[in-house]
Amino acid sequence: MEDRIGFGAWINDVRLEAMPFAYWPPDLLDEVAERSLIETMRLQAASGYNMFDVFGLFAAWGWPVDIVSAVDRERDARVRRIQKAARELGIKLIYGLGVYSWGFDKIIQHDPAVKGPNIHAMCASREESWGWQKKIIDFILKYDFDGYHLEASDLGRCTCEQCLKTWPVLATYYNHITAKCADYIRKQAPGKYISAITISWADWNTGFTAEDKQNLITLSNQVDSILDQGHHGLFVKEPDRKAFVDQLHCKFGTSGGFWVYPPFRCHRERWFLPYTRKTGEHIQRLYADGGRSVLYYQGPINNPGVEVNVAFGGKIMSDVSRDVTDVLSEIIEELYQPKTQEAHRLLVQTFQLGEEAYLSNMNYDADGIHLKGQSTYPGPGELHIGFGVSLAGATSAVPVYLYEPNLNDQGRAAYAKGLEACLGHVSKIEHQVGAVERVQRLKNSIYHALDDVLNVAYARETMPKP
Ligand SMILES: [Zn+2]
């Protein structure tokens, strides 16, 4: 792969300490956040990544109206140290930029001229909106990031009468504002990497229409890469992918086919979800179809499953021809320093079985309650695992990944059995490895995941669904 991108996604998604009382997405940039970002980049550099794409260095939901007060001296110094660390590690730092949405809430409240029906998205028909967008871009450009991730659609579009008339088709609206920002950044900062992210540009089931694809081919003249991440399935379906990629003037990619969205509220050793086979095989198919970019999700690397996933992503992207088990085996050797062949073998098996025990028992569309019952999806691309302190409502306070529609009774029983086997493996060899502290974290994470699935399985009879 040419673009081997680690995706934050937000600055605290890689945080090495949980934030039990924070709201999503926490934009705190303190000592822990800085250290966590730099530690993550160290593992990225050692594993073959060449970019780190992250949201929230300056703002999350809302830039202040004066823009500049988003960054005080302390934050400025932290951002510059993170940039310096990235340069030293050979990692290009990509700034996650909201396009007409993500970061504009306070501006929309302040300036009625840019306000449409969507409280998170500026009206694309108003020249004033473009003025605000340019102000923010101008501010960010002063920091001279290596590239910009343009995201127009995650929080929806403006649905005022004028916008609906000008851009009746969803994708044309997002395409228009993305292209406008890309052109502006190109002129101001030539040579920087620009990616267009197509989250929510189309219906998750049907994907891009022929017209959407044609418009993306036009957009591909203005950006370096188009990323069809695949949160609930891919907009460019695999059988059509090669023909589409061949027509693009830029690179194309996905987010590796599957990822766990990092849960920032819960204890770092609470889950064990490795997925090296699933993403490895996806990345190999993507490459065969001409895909050359991957936006691979990161997470807190002191979670043993996350650490192996992150290392694996970098290595398989660096050489997609490698056998996925060989890559995993190499990572186990490097991270755990097994002293015996048995320890090596059982550790590799633990990560393979941990993946299979969850993913092969998933029943994603079992009851159609996905996203508040609105629809079922062809996914999963993104898995939310839930839990934390019950601040954001009951559904995120419980381990949702262990409930329907992800696992049913049968799936939970099979997953528990798999985790028991993983725990047995690790218990057998825990004193045969060099990385003493790491293997204890591995054991803890399997133990905690097993506790959770058993608790859910037993409680299921008497407790209502989340
Ligand atoms: Zn509008």
24-42: average pLDDT: 96
Interval between CA 217 and ligand 1 midpoint (Å)? 25
Nearest to 181 by CA among 201, 195, 163: 195
CA of 114 to the centre of ligand 1 (A): 8
pLDDT in the model for residue 311: 98
Nearest 5°: the CA angle 405, 15, 44 is 95
Average pLDDT along the chain: 92
| Cα(370) to centroid(ligand 1), Å | 29
Q: How confident is residue 204, by pLDDT bands cut at 50, 70 and 90?
A: confident
Burial class (CB in 10 A: 0-12, 13-18, 19+), 389: middle
The predicted pLDDT at position 465 comes to 52
The Å distance, Cα 203 to ligand 1 centre, comes to: 21
Residues facing residue 328 across a β-bridge: none
pLDDT at residue 167 in the model: 95
C-alpha R_g of the chain = 22
Output the CA 158–ligand 1 centroid distance in Å. 5
Exposed e or buried b per residue across 4-35, where buried means at least 16 C-beta atoms within 10 angstroms of its C-beta: bbbbbbbbbbbbbebbeebebbbbebeeebbb
pLDDT reported for residue 64: 95
- Residue 129 Cα to ligand 1 middle (Å): 10
Ligand 1 centre to CA of 171 (Å) is: 15
pLDDT digits (tens, 9 = 90+) for 36-84: 999 999 999 999 999 999 999 998 889 999 999 999 999 999 999 999 9
pLDDT score for 392: 47
Distance between Cα 430 and ligand 1 center (Å): 60
344 is written with which tokens? 């090596």
Ligand 1 center from residue 100 Cα (angstroms) = 11
What beta strand segments (E) does 165-298 contain? 193-197, 225-227, 251-254, 259-261, 293-297
Other Cβ atoms closer than 10 A to 464? 6
110 CA to centre of ligand 1 in angstroms: 16
Q: pLDDT by residue (tens digit) across 348-390?
A: 999 999 999 999 998 766 544 444 444 456 667 999 888 665 4
CA of 124 to the centre of ligand 1 (A): 5
* CA of residue 262 to ligand 1 center, whole Å: 33
Q: Using the mean position of ligand 1's atoms as its centre, give its distance from the Cα of residue 61 in Å.
A: 19
Q: Measured between alpha carbons, how far is 149 from 225 in angstroms, rounded to an integer? A: 9
Question: Domains plus CATH for the chain?
Answer: 3-318 (3.20.20.80), 341-459 (no CATH)
The percent of residues in the chain predicted with pLDDT above 90, rounded, is 82
Q: Which residue is listed with tokens 């990944």?
A: 401
Say which range, 15-24, 273-282, 320-329, 414-423, has the weakest mean pLDDT: 15-24
d(CA 286, ligand 1 centre) in Å? 36
Distance (angstroms) between ligand 1 centre and the Cα of 163 equals: 4
* Across 19-23, 99-103, 220-224, 348-352, least confident range: 19-23
What is the per-residue pLDDT across 179-203, written as a single tens digit (0 to 9) for each? 999 999 999 999 999 999 999 899 8
Dist. CA 185 → ligand 1 center (Å): 23
Amino acid 368: pLDDT: 47
Q: Are strands 193-197 and 225-227 parallel, antiparallel or unpaired?
A: parallel
Cα of 101 from ligand 1 centre, angstroms: 12
The pair of structure tokens assigned to 264 is 């920032």
- Side-chain-side CA neighbours of 195 within 13 Å: the count stands at 33
CA of 161 to the centre of ligand 1 (A): 7
- E strands of 19-63, at which residues? 51-55
Q: Averaged over 91-112, what is the pLDDT? A: 96
Q: Tell me the C-alpha distance between 373 and 376, whole Å.
A: 8
Q: pLDDT for 270-292, tens place per residue?
A: 999 999 999 999 999 999 999 99
Write down the pLDDT at residue 396.
56
CA–centroid distance, residue 315 to ligand 1 (Å): 44
Q: Among 90, 91, 73, which Cα is nearest to 29's? A: 73
| Ligand 1 centroid – CA 140 distance (Å) | 25
Tell me which DSSP letter residue 189 carries. Answer: S
What is the CA(162)–ligand 1 centre distance, in A?
A: 6
Indicate whether 422 pLDDT > 80: yes
Mean pLDDT throughout 3-32? 94
Query: What integer is the mean pLDDT of 87-99?
Result: 98
pLDDT at position 388 is: 61
DSSP 119-159: TTBB-TT-HHHHHHHHHHHHHHHTT--SEEEEE-STT----
pLDDT at 372: 41
Distance 122 CA to ligand 1 centre (A): 7
Mean pLDDT confidence for 127-151: 98
Task: Provide mean pLDDT across the span 6-17.
Answer: 97
Å from CA of 405 to ligand 1 middle: 36
Distance 26 CA to ligand 1 centre (A): 29
- Output the pLDDT for position 266: 87
